[in-house]
Amino acid sequence: MRAYLSQKADKRIIDALKQDGYEVIPLAPFGALATPVDTHADMLIFNVDDTVFIHKDYEIDLNCAQKIIKIDGPISSKYPNDILLNIAIVGKNTFCNTKYASKTILNYLEKNNFSIHHVAQGYTHCSTCIVSENALISADTGIVEAAQRVGIDALKVSEGNISLPPYNHGFIGGASGKNGDKIYFCGSLSFHPDGEKIRNFCIKYGKSPVELSNSPLVDVGGILFI
Whole-angstrom distance, CA of residue 110 vs CA of residue 88:
14
* Structural domains of the chain, count: 1
For 193-215, write each residue's pLDDT tens digit. 999 999 999 999 999 999 999 99
- Asked if residue 225 lies in contact with residue 1, where contact means CB atoms within 8 angstroms, the answer is yes
- What would the mean pLDDT of 101-110 be, rounded to a whole number? 98
- Asked if residue 149 lies in contact with residue 141, where contact means CB atoms within 8 angstroms, the answer is no
- What would the mean pLDDT of 73-91 be, rounded to a whole number? 96
Which amino acid, one-letter code, is at 119? V
- Asked if residue 185 lies in contact with residue 217, where contact means CB atoms within 8 angstroms, the answer is yes
Mean pLDDT of the chain: 96
Phi then psi for 152, rounded to 5 degrees?
Answer: -90, 135
> How many Cα atoms sit within 13 Å of 78 on the Cβ side?
1
Domain hosting 139: range is 2-225
Where residue 174 sits, what CATH number does that domain have? Answer: 3.75.10.10
pLDDT category at 62 given cuts 50, 70, 90 is confident
Residue 65 has a pLDDT of 64
